[in-house]
Structure 1
Amino acid sequence: MPLLPEEPQIHESAQGPRATPATGRPAPTPRPVPGPRSTASPRPGSPGPARPGPPVRKNASAEPSAASPENRSKPQIQLIPASPDGALDAADETVDLLLDTGRAPSDVLVLTATGLHPLAAHELSFGEAAYWAQQDAAEDVFYAEAAAVGRAANRAVVVVALNGGTEADAARILPAALTKATALLIVCGDPERVNAALGVSV
């Protein structure tokens, strides 16, 4: 019998203030939380389902050979008329415009027809291994001389500065640059030389 007074005290406190400060959770409110939580995660990605639009082109035959150059859609070609002296500046302005309009730096490869771009020369001053490691890291715009186009990795956008060289050089550089672009090839140079090198009228 002396033990009974302790029990009613426990029952009274449990019955009255169920929202105890020790737990801190009001029983009626947390139940609707599962609904908003499921919708809260997609919100930061804004219209998430709209972005995966391109992968809709799923074909049974395209899956094994999607990476092959034959099945890859041809990149668009854009021409920015520029003299050999102004081609490098035109290429730099093009890169700035691409980045300003939302293109990721890792999407862009810049090739110079003759000589190194000043940024490439600067990076090469730290050693060739560190220079090419930047391309493999794919975190920024990569600058290379067209003579090394074979070693350059494919990128969505390739910008070529025809800042010198002969027509034969252009005829060698531009088709090679076209194979490195997966979406867009932008050539800064003389329109006649560009058209002759690519065999198209841009």
Structure 2
Amino acid sequence: MVTAADATAVDVADETVDKLLDEGTRPGDVLVVTTGEQHPWAQHELSFGEDAYWRQLAEGEDVFCVHTTALPSVGRRAVVVLAVNGGTDSEAAEALPAALTKAGRSLIVCGDPQRLRQLL
């Protein structure tokens, strides 16, 4: 758990990913999931079309960012970083176990601990 407000959760998640990569985690082993607005990287990549975006997931060479609603389309990765950056309480509550099922080694949640405790 890494403390972050909804407005800062994506930035905190990005910092967390940077630390993981600095510690030797392979980029293709990391999945970033958002509960509110789509991650800026995903927004950018989706501007080139769905096919190009999903092809990057299939290639598995880089950190991949996805909205929680698309998690059923994503396989497991060693590390999942969940940025609770908005969404309804029910969406955030559903994102926690969904993200956990995608995490092979660890799940790191970036969000408001008080809100998350209430959701669990």
Q: TM-score range by the shorter chain?
A: over 0.9
- 5+ residue gaps, structure 2, are none
Give the equivalent residue in structure 2 for 1:97. 19
Q: What letter is aligned with 2:24?
A: G
1:180 aligns with 2:102: yes
Q: How does 1:31-50 map to 2 (within 5 A)?
A: none
Residues 38-80 of structure 1: CA distance to partner in whole angstroms, max 9, x if unpaired? Answer: xxxxxxxxxxxxxxxxxxxxxxxxxxxxxxxxxxxxxxxxx00
% identical equivalent positions? 55
1:125 aligns with 2:47: yes
Relative contact order higher in (CA < 8 Å, ≥ 6 apart): 2
| Higher CA-based Rg | 1
Of Structure 1 and Structure 2, the greater helix share is in 2
Residue correspondences, number: 120
Partners of 1:84 and 1:162 within 8 A in 2 = yes
RMSD: 1.0
Give the equivalent residue in structure 2 for 1:113. 35
What TM-score do you get using the length of structure 2 for normalisation?
Answer: 0.95
User: Which of 88, 91, 94 does residue 166 from structure 1 map onto?
Assistant: 88
Of Structure 1 and Structure 2, the greater strand share is in 2
* Partner Cα separation in structure 2 for residue 156 and residue 150 of structure 1: 16
- 1:135 offset after TM fit, Å? 0.4
Give the equivalent residue in structure 2 for 1:87. 9
SS at match of 1:150: helix
- 1:192 offset after TM fit, Å? 2.4
Residues 9-33 of structure 1: CA distance to partner in whole angstroms, max 9, x if unpaired? Answer: xxxxxxxxxxxxxxxxxxxxxxxxx
- 1:179 offset after TM fit, Å? 0.3
What TM-score do you get using the length of structure 1 for normalisation?
Answer: 0.57
1:140 aligns with 2:62: yes
- 1:119 offset after TM fit, Å? 0.7
Q: What letter is aligned with 1:164?
A: G
